[in-house]
Structure 1
Amino acid sequence: MAAVTRLLKPSRFSCSAATVSLRRWLSTTAVSETEPHVKTPLYPGGSPPLRADPEGRNVQWVFLGCPGVGKGTYASRLSSLLGVPHIATGDLVREALSSDGPLSRQLTEIVNQGKLVSDEIIINLLSKRLETGEAKGESGFILDGFPRTIRQAEILDEVTDIDLVINLKLPESVLLEKCLGRRICSECGKNFNVASINFKSENGRPGISMAPLPPPPQCVSNLITRSDDTEAVVKERLRVYNEQSQPLEEFYRLQGKLLEFDLPGGIPESWPKLLEALNLDEHEEKRSAAA
């Protein structure tokens, strides 16, 4: 696949340019909820901003996949392996939820109903995160949770060059059990999963087994369930994803950037195969040998 051969190839962009472009989008776009067939230009006059062309830019990847598929887990591991920031819009939303003010109350209502957060809110949170990263000298990123719609993907295409889009896939029955088994430590903030998943093969599909990801003893008494991890909300989130976000697969497939990856099981089974699919298995071996 052409996208995979470009994995570690720098392309033309800087976080600073992204931040300026996203801020410009926030200040100029005015998409009407009551006129869904009217497409507002992404930029005044329909022209994108000039892009920077710095040397040595790190990878800029996107993770796609249904809620609960494991985007955060694998994006975080690749972030550590490649030395680029993992930016999860879900985490950005949860941070905003934990704050005080009108935005927190607005997000609480949206999340509890299993709906997608608006483009304006997500892009505002993302542009702030990019500004913070720029101040720290970050280069490149792995996006997790954005874009979720073709509209968002079009905006992203106007402000940056995405190298690769990794689409993680699991059967919906597995996704439901995974989401219902998720737990968070209220003290350290780490994620765990108490579900023991074992689906037998059927209709030509291989079976899938995933062992629990238990917390250490000091976290056991502090485990909490996310407010949006109820069966009704999870099913609604999956429905919304399938309805609104799956067209993204075709959008990126036509660009030659989509890498589809069916998770064969839990982390021990899936991680080595994902690295192999990304041509990064030797990269991991060299890093382990140097450690």
Structure 2
Amino acid sequence: MAVLLRNPKTITRTTTCSIKPLSSCISRSFSSTTLNSETDLKVPSFFSCISPPLRQEPKDRNVQWVFLGCPGVGKGTYASRLSNLLGIPHIATGDLVREELNSSGTLSSQLKEIVNQGKLVSDEIIISLLSKRLEAGEAKGESGFILDGFPRTIRQAEILEGVTDIDLVVNLKLREEALLAKCLGRRICSQCGGNYNIASIDIKGENGKPGIYMAPLPAPPQCVPNLIQRADDTKEVVKERLRIYNEMSRPVEEFYRNRGKLLEFDLPGGIPESWPKLLEALNLDHEDKCTAAA
């Protein structure tokens, strides 16, 4: 799978992975900082950004990106695709916690106690796991990373800023009515664990907003009898999750917008419609976009 550049002559810089000592960041006293806003660039309607990434060869990109977005928007899907395309790891903090729980690591017993009591895992533990993972990747020669769904609060963003340098934050956005239908249509195979979606989303454009079409993701015949819905995928619960996320995410978006690192990408539909446009927004050309979007 090859990534093609639209204009290699525009390459002017290369970022490098730099992991800072954890102790230097979690011991700091944080306070909110007022920064001057920058002027938005004129860009295509399906995304907006303040500072688009420069076009670079994959081996030279050393990208250090964060993917944000509401629950169910598809952060993991698009982060995984870009991870495979660029040859860099896709790191989800939830996976790091699960891996530590199943290991004999130093934090395993502490995490088990926290989870068993139904408490939230602290920022310090999450950052400790993340810092350890980034340091291990740097030691193995990894050229960058894509973080999935982290940070979610200003404090987490400030701590992360002390651990490593983030180049770009991609904020995936989807209209609430489409996101709600997508979440309510999710199904899981109780036998193989596969994820599918029975929703056929076809929202007409109105008041200047474009229409959105997202085809169902049907399960294979052998999985159909075993499909189940997550207990928390109800209209009331999903709406509450979205409300909480929106309240928490706005300050984080502003944090990165003021630093010139936020790219807001409005999903125009499902993967076939969105994937080529996301590559364009990231200044990546792929020789076979149709195949990549399948």
TM-score (norm. length: structure 2): 0.71
Q: Pick the aligned partner of 2:182 from 178, 183, 186.
A: 178
Partner residue of 2:202?
A: 198
**Whole-angstrom CA distance in 1 between matches of 2:121 and 2:199:** 27
**SS of 1:161 mapped into structure 2:** coil
Q: Which amino acid is the alignment partner of residue 111 of structure 2?
A: L
Partner residue of 2:48?
A: none
Deviations 1:143-202 (A, max 9, x none): 111011111111111121111111111111211221222233455544322222122223
Partner residue of 1:74?
A: 78
Identical residues among aligned pairs (%): 71
**Whole-angstrom CA distance in 1 between matches of 2:176 and 2:110:** 34
Q: Which amino acid is the alignment partner of residue 158 of structure 2?
A: E
Does residue 245 of structure 2 align to residue 234 of structure 1?
no
Contact kept, 8 Å, 2:131 with 2:163, in 1: the verdict is: no
Does residue 204 of structure 2 align to residue 212 of structure 1?
no
Between Structure 1 and Structure 2, the one with more helix by share is: 1
Contact kept, 8 Å, 2:16 with 2:62, in 1: the verdict is: no
Partner residue of 1:151?
A: 155
Structure 1 residues not aligned, in runs of 5+: 30-37, 42-54
Higher relative contact order (CA 8 A, sep 6+): 2
Deviations 1:2-41 (A, max 9, x none): xxx9999532434xx35x42x6656x46xxxxxxxx8489
Q: Cα–Cα, structure 1 residues 24 and 195, in superposed 2: closer, same or farther, change >3 Å?
A: farther
Aligned pairs, number: 253
Deviations 1:237-277 (A, max 9, x none): 21111111122222111111111111110011111111111
**Whole-angstrom CA distance in 1 between matches of 2:182 and 2:274:** 15
Structure 2 residues not aligned, in runs of 5+: 1-8, 33-58
Q: Pick the aligned partner of 2:252 from 237, 248, 254.
A: 248
Does residue 283 of structure 2 align to residue 267 of structure 1?
no
Does residue 167 of structure 2 align to residue 167 of structure 1?
no
**Whole-angstrom CA distance in 1 between matches of 2:11 and 2:175:** 27
Q: Cα–Cα, structure 1 residues 208 and 57, in superposed 2: closer, same or farther, change >3 Å?
A: closer
Q: Pick the aligned partner of 1:13 from 9, 12, 17.
A: 17
**Whole-angstrom CA distance in 1 between matches of 2:232 and 2:13:** 38
Contact kept, 8 Å, 1:97 with 1:105, in 2: the verdict is: no
Q: Which amino acid is the alignment partner of residue 271 of structure 1?
A: W
TM-score (norm. length: structure 1): 0.72
> What's the C-alpha RMSD, in Å, of the aligned pairs?
3.6
Q: Pick the aligned partner of 1:58 from 54, 58, 62.
A: 62
1:30-49 matches, within 5 Å, as: 39=30
